């Protein structure tokens, strides 16, 4: 059973970086109308511009998730000759479902009866079936709260896992080539969908067929790393070369909608996905990195808390903004700094408690579902 476990250095730290990117993005965008004139001052506009690419943290999550899950499936296939699809789905359920439904049940049935509570316009049946991304497309523009919307990415992950498991179970793949054909087909189909719907930014951001290529890109990377563990061109990159690639990739994230006008925006996820593939490879393989994510203080430990950190933060943003507005603490920059510190502290504390006393005991059950 111990043989089943595998750990990639620096991916926990990267996972936290992705979560923190989203956290910063939402901190400066959700409920921003409550803050005073200082929020439009030059320093705040500069910070808001800097955090405006934070939503790409979700893209990084998707690529990383596709990589890890595919690598583990390939490992199981190599060691046991087949993939136990049922056990795979149960392990995913134990990871994703409990906290997801805590947030969903709270949002629909408890939140409306609490102070500042609002009856959501979202529909519970879609959330119950992990179709919240489609509900966001239908009802998101009419929703006066945001914390339920954070579940959209979890729904897409679950759709990918279930769909992939059904395909694997039906075809009983035995070779890496089968995985590659599947992922290349998904990437091509996803690109075609985005090309056809290039004029609709909501479809490009929330629709499964638009987003799913991120996980397929991560899965394709896993097939390459699994077959060729030593990737020398990455291992031997010099520090300045790594820096240049990071600079070009990050610049693209800031300027993607300017350099990809019209239907060319359909290439955005492919280009950003390739950049995040490089980030994963550099963190895993490069010998001359100018940073390693797990070596940044607390990042490795925080990486284990990212699921709660991601799902809780929009809920806490809502309540803290309402509280500061009620106290009339919204007109000075110092109050916003206090708000940010309280938000970061409360979200971290809630994530720690959730992982230690709720998520971790459930995750221990995964050991009973390994083939």
> Positive or negative, the Cα torsion across 105, 314, 143, 205?
negative
Compute the average pLDDT of residues 324-338. 96
Confidence of residue 201 (pLDDT cuts 50, 70, 90): very high
Compute the average pLDDT of residues 62-77. 94
Residue 42: pLDDT above 90? yes
Give the separation between CA 106 and CA 114, rounded to whole angstroms: 10
pLDDT at 132: 95
pLDDT at 144: 67
228 against 333, higher pLDDT? 333
pLDDT in tens, 109-165: 999 999 988 888 899 999 999 999 999 999 887 776 778 888 999 999 999 999 988
250's CB contacts (< 8 A; 6+ apart) are 53
pTM, two decimal places = 0.94
Confidence of residue 204 (pLDDT cuts 50, 70, 90): very high
- Contact assessment for residue 245 and residue 202, using Cβ atoms and an 8 Å cutoff: no
SS3 readout for the chain? CHHHCCCCCCHHHHHHHHHHHHHHHHHCCCCHHHCCHHHHCHHHHHHHHHHCCCCHHHHHHHHHHHHHHHHHHHHHHHHHCCCCHHHHHHHHHHHHHHHHHHHHHHHHHHHHHCCCCCCCCCCHHHHHCCCHHHHHHHHHHHCCCCCCHHHHHHHHHHHHHHHHHHHHHHHCCCCHHHHHHHHHHHHHHHHHHHHHCCCCHHHHHHCHHHHCHHHHHHHHHHHHHHHCCCCHHHHCCCHHHHHHHHHHHHHHHHHHHHHCCHHHHHHHHHHHHHHHHHHHHHHHHCCCCCCCHHHCCCHHHHHCCHHHHHHHHHHHHHHHHHHHHHCCCCCCHHHHHHHHHHHHHHHHHHHHHHHHHHHHHHHHHHHHHCC
pLDDT at 277: 97
7-11, 187-191, 203-207, 302-306: the lowest-pLDDT one: 7-11
Residue 4: pLDDT above 80? no
Compute the average pLDDT of residues 257-263. 94
Confidence of residue 2 (pLDDT cuts 50, 70, 90): very low
pLDDT at 104: 96
Compute the average pLDDT of residues 241-263. 96
Residue 276: pLDDT above 70? yes
47-61, 144-158, 251-265: the lowest-pLDDT one: 144-158
Confidence of residue 7 (pLDDT cuts 50, 70, 90): confident
Residue 1: pLDDT above 60? no
pLDDT at 5: 64
């Amino acid at each position: 059973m111990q043989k089943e476990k595998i750990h990639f250095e620096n991916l926990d730290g990267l996972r936290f970086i992705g979560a923190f990117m989203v956290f910063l993005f939402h901190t400066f965008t959700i409920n921003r109308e409550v803050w005073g004139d200082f929020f439009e001052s030059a320093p705040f506009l500069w910070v808001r511009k800097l955090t405006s690419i934070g939503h790409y943290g979700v893209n990084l999550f998707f690529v990383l998730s596709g990589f890890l899950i595919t690598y583990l499936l390939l490992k199981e296939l190599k060691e046991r000759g087949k993939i136990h699809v049922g056990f795979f789905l149960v392990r995913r359920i134990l990871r994703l479902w409990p906290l997801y439904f805590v947030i969903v049940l709270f949002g629909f049935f408890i939140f409306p009866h609490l102070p500042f509570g609002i009856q959501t316009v979202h529909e519970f049946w879609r959330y119950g079936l992990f179709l919240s991304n489609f509900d966001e497309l239908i009802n998101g523009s009419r929703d006066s709260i945001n914390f339920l919307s954070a579940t959209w990415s979890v729904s897409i992950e679950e759709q990918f896992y279930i769909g992939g498991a059904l395909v694997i179970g039906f075809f009983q793949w035995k070779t890496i080539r089968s995985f590659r054909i599947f992922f290349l087909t998904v990437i091509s189909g996803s690109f075609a969908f985005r090309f056809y719907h290039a004029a609709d930014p909501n479809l490009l951001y929330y629709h499964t067929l638009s987003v799913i290529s991120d996980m397929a890109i991560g899965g394709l990377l896993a097939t390459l790393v699994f077959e060729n563990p030593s990737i020398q061109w990455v291992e031997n990159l010099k520090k300045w070369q790594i820096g240049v690639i990071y600079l070009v990739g990050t610049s693209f994230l800031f300027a993607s909608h300017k350099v990809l006008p019209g239907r060319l925006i359909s290439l955005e996820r492919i280009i950003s996905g390739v950049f995040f593939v490089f980030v994963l490879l550099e963190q895993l393989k490069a010998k001359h990195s100018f940073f390693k994510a797990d070596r940044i203080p607390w990042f490795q430990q925080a990486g284990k808390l990212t699921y709660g950190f991601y799902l809780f933060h929009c809920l806490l943003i809502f309540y803290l903004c309402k509280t500061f507005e009620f106290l009339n603490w919204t007109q000075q920059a110092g109050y916003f700094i206090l708000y940010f510190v309280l938000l970061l502290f409360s979200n971290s504390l809630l994530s720690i408690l959730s992982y230690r006393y709720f998520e971790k005991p459930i995750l221990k059950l995964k050991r009973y579902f390994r083939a």
